[in-house]
Amino acid sequence: MTFSKQNLLIGAAAAALLAAGLTAGVVLFGGDRSHVGESLEQHAAELGAGVSTGEAHDDRAGEEAGHAGEEGEAAEEHAEGEVDIDAAAIERADITLITVAPGSLGAEVTAQATVVAAPNGEAILTARAAGAITDIRKRLGDPVNRGETVALVLSPEAAALSAALTSARSRLNLAKTTFEREKTLFESKVTSRQDYEAAQAELSQAEAEHRRAEASARAARVSSDGQSVAIASPINGRITTVAPTAILGAYVSPDTELFRISDPSKIQIEAAVPVLDTQRIRPGDPASIEANGKTHAAKVRAVTPSVDAASRAATVVLELVNATGELQPGQYARALIRPASQAGTGSGFVVPEEAVQNVEGRDVVFVRTADGFLATPVAVGQRGGGRAEIVEGLQPGQVIAGRKAFVLKAELGKGDAGHDH
């Protein structure tokens, strides 16, 4: 019995080995092909071919993986420091673009300034005749067109002006009729030359009186009913001031200011500049105005020859290149004037201080690219008055992000955080 059990165990082990060998053969040589009847040499050749094919497949896979790795590294390197943002997003984020030009911080003239209405951009409305206000058609902030009536004043003077105009018109009509009759009689030799010339003089006098009465009524803007005078705006704009006396029923005199109209598109900026600095400034010099957190392009219009006795400063008048109505008279601003006589002096570039951002311990400026901005390392020299002088890292003519550059820094930080994950 013992011998038989040993034989059975040996036979089972042999069967297991045979099954394992068959399975390995199927894996190596393919389960869909039979190797029965093949010689030993043919079988060895097929086995060698299979090994070669596997090695070639492994080599190709390795090469592809290598290329993929290189492309990934190149993409990461390309994306480093770049912020992809289109023009619409730049406008929505209110990021200002600045074209850099050579200059130095000492060449710029910085001065406090005030926005004022241009001489043709503001009007004060008063009643043309004394009387009581009977109608107010506009309120504070309302738009007004040139010649539009703002209020009506019931005035005895209006009645007198209207009566004078009516009387002058009647006298003119009578004088015309008399002159035509005398002219006909004179040509028919019925009347004397003296009567004809008298009628002619009367007509000239009546015409002059009618013109005077008509001009007075027009200047006072007498209404068609002859009872009121209209308070009308001589310019386009908005009502910026309404006097406390401008209420219904209030009695006003001709010298009483009732309304003030301002045209936002007709303003100028007056900057108080030290006398020594005005010697470098000429009309037409480029400048920029900083107000309400925004920068507006401007140019010098004039430099006043007089000096304020209190501040010992001269007034430089500037005008905006494109008046958008964002600045209003009375606002304070800061003027940055770049004298053309010193343009291009210095080896650096002067930019707003907020254009320089610190990224990972380095000062960078975001330079405009085709797809957005590139964080470009720079070396900063002097700083002062909200301006910074870039001494290295920029080229003339490059466009950089000025105000709101910190938005790009935040976007760059988001991109770096995404790469870390």
pLDDT, residue 342, reads 63
Contact 353, 383 (CB under 8 A): yes
Same domain, 253 and 128: yes
pLDDT, residue 268, reads 92
Residue 393, judged by CB atoms within 10 A of its CB (0-12, 13-18, 19+), counts as middle
Same domain, 251 and 285: no
Residue 409: closest CA among 350, 363, 371 = 363
Find the CATH number of the domain harbouring 205: 2.40.50.100
Same domain, 291 and 355: no
Return the structure tokens found at 110.
């910085």
pLDDT, residue 44, reads 43
pLDDT, residue 29, reads 40
Domain-terminating residue out of 262, 287, 314: 262
200 in any annotated domain: yes
Residue whose structure tokens are 């015409």: 207
Same domain, 290 and 325: yes
pLDDT, residue 8, reads 38
CA angle, corner 280, sides to 274 and 281, nearest 5?
85
Same domain, 204 and 283: no
Which residues, 6 or more positions from 189, have their beta carbon under 8 angstroms from its beta carbon?
A: none
7 in any annotated domain: no
pLDDT, residue 53, reads 46
pLDDT, residue 105, reads 66
Same domain, 196 and 173: yes
pLDDT, residue 87, reads 87
- Number of neighbours of residue 121 by Cβ within 10 angstroms: 20
pLDDT, residue 355, reads 87
Same domain, 268 and 141: no
pLDDT, residue 127, reads 86
Domain-terminating residue out of 228, 245, 262: 262
Same domain, 134 and 236: yes
Provide the number of structural domains found in the chain: 3
CA dihedral (372, 377, 382, 388) in degrees, to 10, reads 10
Domain that holds residue 311: 109-120+263-337
Output the pTM of the full model: 0.54
Q: Over the chain (421 residues), what is each successive 10-residue block's mean pLDDT?
A: 41 46 41 45 46 46 47 49 87 84 74 90 89 92 92 88 88 92 88 88 91 85 84 91 92 89 90 87 89 85 86 90 83 87 67 87 90 89 78 87 87 67 50
Find the CATH number of the domain harbouring 403: 2.40.420.20
> Is the Cα dihedral 262, 264, 265, 270 positive or negative?
positive
Return the structure tokens found at 26.
């199927």
